[in-house]
Amino acid sequence: MRNALKFTSILATAGVALSLAACGSSGSSSSSDANAPLKVVASPTPHGQILKYVKDNLAEKAGLKLDIKEVTDYVTPNTAVQDGSADANYFQHVPYLEDFNKKHGTNIVSVEPVHLEPLGLYSKKVKAIGDLADGATIGLPNDATNEGRALKLLADNKLITLKDGVTTTATPADVTGNPKNFKWKELEAAQLPRSVADLDAAVINGNYAIDSGLKPATDALVLEKAEGNPYANILAVKKGKENDPRVKKLAELLHSDEVKKYIDDTFQGSVIPAF
């Protein structure tokens, strides 16, 4: 999921939602019939790619029919699940889902984490975190979700310490230990790859790193770990549909050894299995 959230216009979103409502054979809302296709709304990359792999290689043998609808905005997948025109979605992490539920009055829940697009610390000036000089300037994404995530990455790697109890909501004001007297440069997440050469280092979202030609697995000085990470992208459904046998089957397939190998082989560290 791209963390710098960009929404399509209301009209465009509504148009996609209408197409979702009509994407079943009968044009009706999604069904809990165990023999009906499971309608899943997903972002194209990597979510849609992963689902297509499951559909083409694993679903038939498991007795699961998948109907995949790809959209590029971050509103339609949740509204479609909430109104029943889709059974599940795969595009977001839990912090975004919780914020969406709060703001929109929806009741969508996580089924399973699937993958992480890792945040990393990058530099054009040093090759290891130990080489960062006293007083170095580090770029941080300036939106609330990603800034806290970036500071947590630095804290997890012993570069700073944060106020007790503060993790993903951290701001520079919550830094209580800064032994190398790092200075902070807060920029829009999308600007950081272009600005990293002018900084000593920068924490960059996985999608923006990839778009700029960086390879997270090899170019990052430090990289988020997937296990237990709250920013792992999830399979989600409307509350009450967690026990739909088709949803359970898809969750099982998404956690299979085959999917893990597919993610590792295809994305080579830019996307990490979170299971």
**What would the pLDDT profile of 27-46 be if each residue is shown by its tens digit?**
345 556 778 999 999 998 89
- Given a cut of 60, whether residue 11 has pLDDT beyond it is no
> Three-state DSSP class for 211?
helix
- CA angle 214/236/86 to nearest 5° reads 110
Q: How far apart are CA 235 and CA 68, in angstroms?
A: 13
- What CATH number was assigned to the domain covering residues 120-223? 3.40.190.10
**pLDDT score recorded for residue 122:** 98
Question: With 50 as the cut, is the pLDDT of residue 266 above it?
Answer: yes
Tokens of 133: 């000089």
Give the pLDDT band (50/70/90) at residue 20: low
Residue 159 has pLDDT above 50, yes or no: yes
Pairing of strands 38-42, 66-70: parallel
> Does residue 40 contact residue 23 with C-beta atoms inside 8 Å?
no
Q: What is the mean pLDDT of residues 15-31?
A: 48
Domain range list for the chain: 10-117+229-273, 120-223
- Compute the distance between CA of residue 209 and CA of residue 220 in angstroms, rounded to an integer: 9
User: CA 233 to CA 243: how far, in whole Å?
Assistant: 20
What is the tens place of the pLDDT at every residue in 169-219? 899 999 999 999 999 999 998 899 999 999 999 999 887 888 788 989 899
pLDDT band at 25 (very low <50, low <70, confident <90, very high): very low
Equal fold, 10-117+229-273 vs 120-223: yes
Work out the number of other CB atoms within 10 angstroms of the CB of residue 3: 21
Closest CA to 114 of 70, 50, 63: 50
So what CATH class is 10-117+229-273?
Answer: alpha beta
Q: Give the global pTM.
A: 0.74
| Three-state secondary-structure class, residue 56 | helix
